[in-house]
Amino acid sequence: MPMSHQIDCSHLSAPHVPGATVLSINATERWNYSVPATPPFLLSPVQNLNICDVTVSLTHAGAENQVTVKVWLPLQDWNGRFQATGGSGYAAGEFDLTLGPTVKNGYSAVSTDAGVGLNALSPGSWALNTDGSVNFDALIDFSYRSVHDMAIVGKELTRQFYGTKPKYSYWNGCSTGGRQGMAAAQRYPDLFDGILAGAPAINWAKYVVAEQWPQTVMQQELTFPSTCELKFFSDAAIKECDEMDGVKDGIITDPENCLYDPLESVGQVIECEGQKITITNSTATIVKKTLQGPLDPYGRPLWYGLNAGAPLDNLVNTTTEINGTRTGNPFFVNDQWIKYFLARDPDYNTEQINYNTFLDLFWQSYTEYDSIIGTDDADLSSFHHHGGKLLMWQGLSDQLIFPGGTIDYRNRVERLMGGENRTNDFFRLFLAPGVDHCAAGTTIGAIPNDPFEALVDWVEQGDAPNMIPATINDGTQAERIICSYPQVATYIGGNADCAASYTCA
């Protein structure tokens, strides 16, 4: 039943935040407020919001930080629930872009900048102190401390405004937001009743350096493939493995068992932008090593690679110079992490990384930062004890966060928590074939329709999801189902574009 507020927006008082000091609180009523569409984060505008818009500024003893927390409280029709929202890249929050849709659905909502600002593309403004050392206070805020603070602030202001605590509290985030959700589950297990962690950037200290691997391989091969060539390899893998599931739909359902070898395509002539190009051994080697993932000098895997059929144009990215030559163009997350946190030099040239340097950087990152930003602790016993529910999902064609790392995490939790059934009591993983990072980018697969709603039903009704309905957004609106790991959506006959033609097996 929708609820209304008990006090005026202007009468909210500063919340008590353990470990922090609140510097200021400002609250304003906004009627008919709108948030404009801002792709890729917000695809359509959110309009006619009536909210109490609260901004809280806080700091921590001994840290020269100033963290901004924004809380939006519906002036009408609060649904009794609270939802914290996550960020992306190097931003811990999106403010209006996530608060708008959340409040529209009746939730009180919170977002934070973690004191590091809202620039998702670079940590340049906060990563280093003036003496060139790493700003560990800022990194701790970005990694986990701000998740605790924003939840405390948001829940306390919700209680003040409506005169009652939220009946249920949720976390909702993808990528960095997914990692933040896992930080809550591991470090602050009593903060949330339910956590939705999409494509979570756990294993950060390892996977972010692993994202640099394709660029290193290109530099060593002195070969920089065009986008057209890269698409050829993704398409070739799909062509070879598409029908393994009995349906020809351009989607590899089980990429782990797709044995496509890029070297098979050497010598093949393809057409790119009106020119005929012959696939070389060097180009095929780059793709093969990208799918394998980085190796140590003895050929042992350091981390996972991309799945066969996944798009390659973010990590194997190149740029064309004015003179027509192509060079490597690293993805911003790995490029900035190496420059600021490993080399501690904004001018460090990542093109100079060879296989030996890569190995050094990989282990440096893990050794120095895993304990701060790793977020891959498999011990979720306290979260389970507090009754929390965790729904994690990821696209199997994610080209930024390697799905193998996510699957490895789930398997490690199972081993620690006493097996599949016991783990399924509180943690379910859903893998979406053909879906790119957070359902953006080059997504050809079926996107889960509403994993957050599935989480709410699980928390509030005890309805544990075995599958989530999904839709292919290519104009056909073909239906699929995404199954709880380790089950896979299996075609049982009938119209391949209808969800009823699939079962979890």
Q: Which of 111, 146, 175, 365 is catalytic?
A: 175
Task: Tell whether the model's pLDDT for residue 59 goes beyond 80.
Answer: yes
Task: Tell whether the model's pLDDT for residue 3 goes beyond 80.
Answer: no
Backbone angles phi and psi of 485, in degrees to 5: -55, 140
What residues pair up with 49 in beta bridges, in sequence order?
33
Q: Which of 59-63, 119-123, 153-157 has the lowest mean pLDDT?
A: 59-63
The interaxial angle of helices 176-187 and 146-162, nearest 10 deg, is 80
Q: Which of 122, 376, 437, 501 is catalytic?
A: 437
> Quick check: is 44 catalytic?
no
- pLDDT band, very low/low/confident/very high, at 1 (cuts 50, 70, 90): low
Task: Tell whether the model's pLDDT for residue 47 goes beyond 80.
Answer: yes
Please report, in angstroms and rounded to a whole number, the separation of the first and last CA atoms in the chain: 38
Provide the Cα torsion 117, 120, 125, 127; round to 10°.
Answer: 110
- pLDDT band, very low/low/confident/very high, at 324 (cuts 50, 70, 90): confident
pTM over 0.85: yes
- Sequence-separated (6 or more) residues with CB below 8 Å from residue 349: none
Q: For the chain, which residues make up each domain, given as ranges?
A: 1-164, 206-369
| Nearest in space to 348 (alpha carbons), one of 121, 90, 124 | 124
Q: What is the DSSP string of 83-127?
A: EEE--BTTBS--THHHHHHHHHTT-EEEEE-TTS-S-TT--TTTS
If one counts every other C-beta atom within 10 angstroms of the C-beta of residue 167, the result is 12
124-143 per-position pLDDT tens digit: 999 999 999 999 999 999 99
Rounded Cα gap, residues 181 and 174, in angstroms: 9
Summary count for the chain: helices (H), strands (E):
14, 18
Structure tokens at 404: 């193998």
Say if residues 444 and 434 touch (Cβ distance below 8 Å).
yes
Rounded Cα gap, residues 338 and 335, in angstroms: 5
pLDDT at 478: 93
Structure tokens at 462: 């005890």
- pLDDT band, very low/low/confident/very high, at 7 (cuts 50, 70, 90): confident
With residue 29 as reference, give the H or E element that holds it.
strand 21-35
If one counts every other C-beta atom within 10 angstroms of the C-beta of residue 467, the result is 19
Instruction: Round the average pLDDT of the chain to a whole number and report it.
Output: 96
> Quick check: is 4 catalytic?
no
> Quick check: is 282 catalytic?
no
Q: What is the DSSP letter of 38?
A: B
Say if residues 327 and 319 touch (Cβ distance below 8 Å).
yes
- pLDDT band, very low/low/confident/very high, at 200 (cuts 50, 70, 90): very high
Q: For a pLDDT cut of 90, what percent of the chain falls above it? A: 93
Task: Tell whether the model's pLDDT for residue 441 goes beyond 90.
Answer: no
Say if residues 447 and 432 touch (Cβ distance below 8 Å).
yes
pLDDT at 327: 95
What average pLDDT score do residues 21-40 get?
95
Q: What angle do CA 214, 221, 257 make, to 5 degrees?
A: 50
Q: Which of 193, 242, 398, 436 is catalytic?
A: 398
| Nearest in space to 106 (alpha carbons), one of 84, 85, 76 | 76
Rounded Cα gap, residues 119 and 326, in angstroms: 28
Say if residues 210 and 294 touch (Cβ distance below 8 Å).
yes
Structure tokens at 260: 């496509």
pLDDT at 6: 84
Q: What is the DSSP letter of 75?
A: S
